[in-house]
Amino acid sequence: MSSFRKSTRLYSALGSSAALLALLPLSAANAQDPTSAPPNTGGAVIKGKAPVAHELLSVRLPKPKMFKLSNGLSVYVLEDHRLPVVRFQLSMHAGVLFEPRAAVAETTAAMLTEGTQTRDYLQLAQETADLGATLSSRAGPDTAVISAAGLSESTDALIALMSDVLLHPSFPADRLERIKFQQKSQIAQRRTNPAGLAAELASRVYYGGTPYARASPAAAAITALTPADLAQFHAAYYRPNDALMGVSGDVSIKTLRPKLEAALAAWKPGTMATALPSATFTPKQTSRIYLIDRPGSAQTVLQFGNLSVRQNDPDYIPLLVANRVLGGGSAGRLFQNIREQKGYTYGAYSTLSAGRWPGLWAASASVRTPVTEPAAREFYREFDRLQDEPVATSDLDRAKRSLIGSFAGTLESSEAILVRTLDLVQNDLPLDYWDTYPARIQAVTQADVQRVARKYLGKNRVQLIAVGERSQIEEGLRKFGPVEIVDAAALAAGQP
């Protein structure tokens, strides 16, 4: 079969999965008591049924089956025979937080698909295309991930490709130079972007003094990397120690296990520590304003925030609801006030991040330079309002329905369900976490929203990072607190 026909079949199969969910009644008006016990799915196999019941708030997620290979690798399998598609995701503790020198983790991951000891880059690309499949690798803050997807008839070939790039990367020098050029170009572009500058500074402001304050690597650090550096990092950290593999789709666990055992027989545990770096995370107790002077800016980027919680913290769910009320969409207070009523910006939103270490509760907007001061004032007003006034019952109900509806919309495929299961394992959460998620959202009260708003926003504790024309905005910003000037050129150069 030609690669075009296989790619077309894969595209059609993937598209059908989304269509299945589109037929479900997701209207919040049909929501019933979310505390009612969800039906028992009777195992991990999905037999023609979507994972969301007719009642929007009643979720029944199929449970993947788990086994361990002889090398200790944990494999989670969610069988779904509705479509002839299979997906693999392998994650290892080989992210940026584990690298001994700047840029080595992301570069190592990027180079895995650039050539192996038996296949050069073109051969890897051609074999993947002939299968109508995808093969990729990347590194994040804590994990490196290898992913592959294709038709289930190509399962053996996908396993062979994944195991080859995992076990036998060659790190060819010519491809490394290409990757380094791309990385330096991307970092340079990000550091000239106002939002990129704000993000660069935010890492220092909130995580400074801990290993989690990882700034973008300097160009010189990327230039200095050699194939030997990547090979050394790969040998030390690309190990099955605490690694996870997720497999979803048209596979049989009975036949899959021996195939993985054979393909990964040479992959042995290593000796390097895989625990996250220890750190003390301390939310800011006093407000401070950081002004990144960017002469000539027609707009000011405003980013407010403070440290929040880990996902396994009891306050996480109330914070999700509070965030949705504040600015989690176009119905949020920030959008309705700062855009719809005042017209200061195209959009104003808030976000909540959380994982295995505390994330941020943040809010942001890009506003016209002349309205920087009044726009900032409205942000602070909404922060205070969330703490001082009980949320109207209608607003609270709308926020909770929105969160639950959005969650239901993410369960359209077995792959998405499997990824959520792997998140539970990685973030030390109970295995029924997602089954009880809607009920816990629904249980959040007005008092809960005020309590977490006071605890994590607090009076005069929010930090503000502003990027814009200093001569035009400094005087107005000083009305909200002390201002520290940050040189945009120095920040863009990666200087402290």
Residue 487's pLDDT is: 87
Average pLDDT over the chain, rounded to an integer: 87
Q: How confident is the model at residue 23 (pLDDT cuts 50, 70, 90)?
A: very low
Residues 6+ apart with CB under 8 A from 239: 92, 267, 268, 269, 270, 272, 274
Q: Model confidence over 81-98: pLDDT tens digits?
A: 999 999 999 999 999 999
CATH classification (class only), 289-492: alpha beta
> Which of these, 379, 417, 93, lies nearest to 244 by C-alpha position?
93
Where would I find the H helices in 131-193? 155-167, 173-192
> Which of these, 266, 236, 239, lies nearest to 73 by C-alpha position?
239
Q: Please give the share of the chain, as a percent, with pLDDT higher than 90.
A: 71
Average pLDDT over residues 392-406: 94
Average pLDDT over residues 468-488: 94
Q: Model confidence over 44-74: pLDDT tens digits?
A: 344 445 454 445 456 678 889 999 999 999 9
Average pLDDT over residues 421-445: 91
Assess whether the region 65-263 and the region 289-492 belong to the same CATH fold. Answer: yes
CA distances from 8 to 19, 125, 130, 132, 415 (A): 17, 17, 12, 8, 19
Residue 58's pLDDT is: 67
Average pLDDT over residues 175-180: 97
pLDDT over 50 at 404, yes or no = yes
Structure tokens of 90?
């392998």
Residue 325's pLDDT is: 98
Q: Which region among 89-93, 125-129, 434-438, 447-451 has the lowest average model confidence (pLDDT)? A: 434-438
CATH 3.30.750.24 fits 65-263, yes or no: no
Domain extent listing, the chain? 65-263, 289-492
Cβ contact 239:269 at 8 Å? yes
Q: Identify which has the larger pLDDT, 435 or 225.
A: 225
pLDDT over 80 at 197, yes or no = yes
CA end-to-end span of the chain, whole Å? 56
Distance CA 151, CA 333 (A): 45
What length does the chain have?
A: 496
Distance CA 366, CA 52 (A): 37
pLDDT over 70 at 297, yes or no = yes
> Which of these, 359, 363, 360, lies nearest to 379 by C-alpha position?
363
> Which of these, 251, 245, 258, lies nearest to 44 by C-alpha position?
251
Q: For residue 349, give the H/E element and its range.
A: strand 345-352
pLDDT over 90 at 326, yes or no = yes
Residue 226's pLDDT is: 97
Q: Identify which has the larger pLDDT, 145 or 459.
A: 145
Residues 6+ apart with CB under 8 A from 12: none
pLDDT over 80 at 28, yes or no = no
* Strand segments (E) across 85-227: 85-92, 134-139, 144-151
CB count in 10 Å sphere of residue 33:
10
pLDDT over 60 at 3, yes or no = no
Cβ contact 75:141 at 8 Å? no
Residue 293's pLDDT is: 94
The upper half-sphere exposure of residue 4, i.e. CA atoms within 13 Å in the direction of its Cβ, equals 0
CA distances from 76 to 90, 191, 352 (A): 10, 39, 28
Instruction: For 65-102, give one letter per residue: b (16+ CB within 10 A) or e.
Output: beeebebebbbbbbbbebbbbbbbbbbbbbbbbbbeeb
Distance CA 408, CA 307 (A): 28
Helix (H, G, I), strand (E, B) or coil at 134: strand
Residue 273's pLDDT is: 78
CA distances from 77 to 209, 251, 264, 275 (A): 40, 8, 17, 25
Q: Model confidence over 254-274: pLDDT tens digits?
A: 999 999 999 999 999 998 878
pLDDT over 50 at 490, yes or no = yes
Alpha-carbon dihedral 150, 154, 159, 162, rounded to 10 degrees: -50
Q: Model confidence over 157-168: pLDDT tens digits?
A: 999 999 999 999
> Which of these, 43, 61, 40, lies nearest to 52 by C-alpha position?
61
Cβ-in-10-Å burial (0-12, 13-18, 19+) of 344 comes to buried
Average pLDDT over residues 486-495: 79
Residue 63's pLDDT is: 86
Q: Model confidence over 384-397: pLDDT tens digits?
A: 999 999 999 999 99
Q: For residue 324, give the H/E element and its range.
A: helix 316-327
Distance CA 146, CA 139 (A): 9
Q: What is the DSSP letter of 38?
A: P
Residue 414's pLDDT is: 86
Residue 10's pLDDT is: 47
CB count in 10 Å sphere of residue 309:
23
